Structure 1
Amino acid sequence: MEIDLKQLRELMRSLKQFDVSELEIEKDGERIYLRRGADTVVAPSAVIAAPAAPVSSHPPALPVAAAPAASAASDPNVVAITSPFVGTFYRSPSPDAPAFVDVGTEIRPGQVLCIVEAMKLMNEIESEISGTIVEVLGDNGKPVEYGDALFKVRKSG
């Protein structure tokens, strides 16, 4: 089953538009499974099984949602930014480049925080909130699962 990135994005938009939480398509033994995130996810999040593309592909950045941090003792303004899908977490655009963000970095909506490589696609993950990075939870070059906390951010006013 051939599906390009444009078709995949349209499917993801349709999930949100029609308030569908999951979609599975199977044809000729190939499967595509999309799932919108949990309660706090405001953008389409997906676990994607799609044809591989060249490593140099840089699709538009995917927004991620901020979920409340797990610790009950934590500041109520601190939220966790989670991975929108399964992949490999990278803090910088290349091994010799500086990290997109570090502890203490002020962030704003639309700012790239990291890359999650999935199916050989390098997906820039953008912030949906303004605030300050208080903790980096993802390990550079290590696998992440859908919903794994990547950063803790103290939201600003």
Structure 2
Amino acid sequence: MARRVERVQQAEQEKPVVEAGPFTLSDVKQLVEALEGTDVTSFVWSRSGDKVVIRRGEKPATVAVAYPSPAAAVAPLAPLPPVSAPAAAAAAPAAAPAPAPKAESKPGVIVTSPFVGTFYRAPSPESPPFVDVGAVVKKGQVLCIVEAMKLMNEIEAEVPGKIAEILVENATPVEFGEPLFRIEPA
């Protein structure tokens, strides 16, 4: 034990005194040399607002945490037991909002978006819309534009008839298969 104390004292006398102020490269090298041969794996030293952190040994294992994505609601296979009124009232706000009335429930032909993009009723902001509610259209007439990947794609009427409903607001995103128009055949 006495030998070890002597070696530490001798090493302290041989090492130059570290000056106050910001750390220099030689200061950091001296710290690394002082830690060599020891069991120290992590060392932190602050001085004059500067901070030196030295870590030795193997890099700590990185733990990747995967969070499950929300699953789509699946209809139960068996009927659920009845729920008491207070529990049902508490579960009601957590339920998904009721979907908007489907256009398919009304008579007519539904024109859907063939891809994901942005729905535009007119060729430019200054131009009038291609069609309005009540307009009579011919098969193949342009109804709107869906922009997808910077390409403007004209969507045409699949049947002749009258525009009964426009189901999407101008300049809004649309999904593949989303209903755009309801046409009552002529």
Q: Shorter-chain TM-score: what band?
A: 0.5 to 0.7
Structure richer in strand, relative to its length: 1
- How high is the sequence identity, in percent, across the aligned residues? 61
What is the aligned residue count?
85
Q: Deviations over 1:57-77 (max 9, x none)?
A: xxxxxxxxxxxx521xx33xx
Does structure 1 conserve the Cα–Cα contact (< 8 Å) formed by 2:110 and 2:179?
A: yes
The amino acid across from 2:116 in the alignment is V
Residue 109 of structure 1 corresponds to 139
- For residues 168 and 130 of structure 2, the distance between their equivalents in structure 1, rounded to whole angstroms, comes to 13
Task: Select 2:158's aligned residue among 111, 115, 128.
Answer: 128
Residue 70 of structure 1 corresponds to 104
Residue 149 of structure 1 corresponds to 179
The amino acid across from 1:99 in the alignment is P
Residue 61 of structure 1 corresponds to none
Aligned counterparts, 1:12-91, within 5 A: 69-71=103-105, 74-75=106-107, 78-91=108-121
- For residues 121 and 70 of structure 1, the distance between their equivalents in structure 2, rounded to whole angstroms, comes to 29
Aligned counterparts, 1:92-103, within 5 A: 92-103=122-133
Unmatched tracts of structure 1, length 5 or more: 1-68
Unmatched tracts of structure 2, length 5 or more: 1-102
Structure richer in helix, relative to its length: 2
The amino acid across from 1:81 in the alignment is V
Q: Deviations over 1:82-130 (max 9, x none)?
A: 0011000000000010000000110111100000000000011111210
TM-score with structure 1 length normalisation? 0.52
The amino acid across from 2:156 in the alignment is E
The amino acid across from 2:143 in the alignment is L
Does structure 1 conserve the Cα–Cα contact (< 8 Å) formed by 2:111 and 2:158?
A: no
How far residue 139 of structure 1 moved from its aligned partner, in angstroms, is 1.0
The amino acid across from 2:169 in the alignment is D
How far residue 152 of structure 1 moved from its aligned partner, in angstroms, is 0.7
Q: Deviations over 1:22-80 (max 9, x none)?
A: xxxxxxxxxxxxxxxxxxxxxxxxxxxxxxxxxxxxxxxxxxxxxxx521xx33xx121
SS in 2 for 1:70: helix
RMSD: 1.4
The amino acid across from 1:106 in the alignment is V
